[in-house]
């Protein structure tokens, strides 16, 4: 991982929060519930890479990529000519793809099948499907370790997307340990409705804000909203302008 070189996320205000973007060769975790914006942020990261002439790969273990792209065309900040340059891979994992979990199996999957040695940026959306297939926490830890090792060795800057599970789940905690940065996406209740927000839980080697940052996704942009949101107790929030 190169701390001296950063990869822009394609979202200027997020780059500022990340002190320039993601470190080159880093592995970054997007975690949160369904509908919080994780996939859009991840694809924006890939689109920025395409603009810079980088090879970008999106691997989906859930939504069919053709179906996803039909939705993405409604977003003006993700133009079709840019999306067409991303390599879209549909991957429905089976036990044969994963077991026996170990260095050789993971290398075969990511090097021979996904060909990560030719990629500059990669998104895996989402890891939760793999985790449920692996099931055993010790195997999940080994798979995650080997995957991140390969991506780091190949100098691929990656975003791993997961559906948030209970904090006490062992495998969930492992994601935080292995990732170079962790961004949590949430939908927060306010007095007059709800707002999407993100919080940087971890940013290895850099300082970062601790508050939730509200944002909105429109057809034109991913826009940071004014103020910050501070958490007080269970599901009680106050907005600080």
Level-2 CATH architecture, domain 2-240? 3-Layer(aba) Sandwich (3.40)
CB 196 within 8 A of CB 187: yes
So where are the chain's domains? 2-240
Query: What pLDDT score does 171 carry?
Result: 44
Residue 21 pLDDT > 80: yes
The pLDDT tens digits of the residues spanning 140-160 come to: 889 999 999 999 999 999 999
Query: What pLDDT score does 170 carry?
Result: 42
Picking from 141, 119, 97, the residue whose alpha carbon sits closest to that of residue 25 is 119
The pLDDT tens digits of the residues spanning 38-75 come to: 999 999 999 999 999 999 999 999 999 999 999 998 99
pLDDT confidence bin for 239, thresholds 50/70/90: low
Query: What pLDDT score does 134 carry?
Result: 86
- Tell whether pTM > 0.85: yes
Tokens 């995650």 — which residue? 144
Share of the chain above pLDDT 90, in %: 70
Q: Is 103 left (phi over 0), alpha (psi -120 to 50) or beta?
A: alpha
Residue 137 structure tokens: 């926490």
Mean confidence (pLDDT) of the chain: 89
Residue 82 pLDDT > 50: yes
Strands 121-125 and 157-163: parallel
């Amino acid at each position: 991982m190169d701390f001296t070189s950063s990869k822009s996320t394609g979202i200027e205000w997020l780059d500022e929060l990340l002190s320039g973007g993601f470190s080159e060769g880093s592995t970054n975790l997007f975690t949160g519930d369904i509908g919080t914006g994780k996939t859009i942020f991840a694809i924006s990261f890939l689109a920025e890479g395409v603009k810079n002439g980088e090879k970008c790969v999106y691997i989906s273990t859930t939504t069919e990529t053709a179906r996803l792209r039909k939705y993405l065309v409604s977003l003006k900040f993700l133009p079709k000519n840019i999306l067409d340059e991303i390599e879209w891979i549909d991957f429905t994992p089976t036990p044969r793809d994963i077991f026996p979990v170990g260095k050789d199996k993971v290398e075969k999957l990511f090097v021979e099948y996904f060909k990560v040695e030719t990629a500059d940026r990669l998104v895996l959306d989402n890891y939760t499907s793999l985790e449920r297939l692996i099931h055993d926490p010790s195997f999940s830890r080994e798979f995650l370790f080997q995957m991140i090792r390969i991506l780091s060795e190949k100098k691929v800057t990656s975003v791993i997307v997961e559906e948030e599970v209970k904090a006490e789940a062992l495998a969930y905690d492992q994601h935080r340990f292995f990732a170079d940065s962790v961004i949590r996406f949430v939908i927060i209740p306010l007095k007059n409705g709800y707002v999407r927000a993100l919080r940087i839980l971890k940013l290895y080697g850099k300082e970062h804000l601790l508050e939730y940052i509200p944002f909105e996704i429109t057809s034109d942009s991913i826009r940071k909203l004014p103020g910050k949101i501070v958490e007080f107790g269970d599901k009680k929030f106050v907005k600080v302008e």
